[in-house]
C-alpha cells in the first residue's frame, strides 16, 4: 500500500495513498497498483531534478511517456500532472532553481 513504508508521505498524510519515488522508480504502468485507481496525481520534483545527470527536458519526455503508458494500460485513469514548485532553504542552490525552471518550461 502506498504511504506505508520508508520514503513515502505515509506518516505525514495518514490514510492517504502517497508515494514519493523518482520517475524511474515508479511501478510499471501495467502494475496492479494502478487497478481500481481513478485518479493519479503525478508531481515530479526535486527528487528527480537533484540528480546531477538529470536533464530537465529528458525528464519531461520520460514523464509524458509514463503518463501515456499508464493511461493506455488503465484507460479509466485520470492523471493530473503538476509543475514543480520552487524550493527554499539551506540545501538549495542556483542549479536546482535552473532545473526547476527548465522542467516547468518544457512541461507546458
Q: Is the pTM of this model over 0.85?
A: no
Residue 78: predicted pLDDT: 92
Residue 107: predicted pLDDT: 86
Instruction: With beta carbons less than 8 A apart as the criterion, state whether 40 and 27 touch.
Output: no
Q: Residues in the chain with pLDDT < 70?
A: 1-21, 89-92
CA distance 5 to 7: 6
pLDDT tens across 48-63, in order?
Answer: 888 888 899 998 998 9
Residue 11: predicted pLDDT: 52
Helical ranges in the chain per DSSP H: 46-49, 56-73, 94-107
CA distance 76 to 62: 21
Q: How many Cβ atoms are within 10 Å of 99's Cβ, its own excluded? A: 20
Amino acid at each position: 500500500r502506498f504511504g506505508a513504508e520508508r520514503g513515502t508521505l505515509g506518516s505525514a498524510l495518514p490514510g492517504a495513498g502517497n508515494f514519493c519515488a523518482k520517475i524511474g522508480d515508479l511501478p510499471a504502468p501495467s502494475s496492479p497498483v494502478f487497478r481500481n485507481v481513478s485518479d493519479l496525481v503525478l508531481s515530479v520534483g526535486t527528487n528527480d531534478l537533484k540528480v546531477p545527470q538529470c536533464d530537465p527536458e529528458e525528464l519531461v519526455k520520460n514523464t509524458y511517456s509514463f503518463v501515456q503508458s499508464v493511461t493506455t494500460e488503465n484507460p479509466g485513469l485520470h492523471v493530473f500532472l503538476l509543475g514543480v514548485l520552487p524550493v527554499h532553504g539551506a540545501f538549495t542552490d542556483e542549479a536546482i532553481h535552473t532545473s526547476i525552471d527548465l522542467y516547468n518550461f518544457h512541461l507546458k
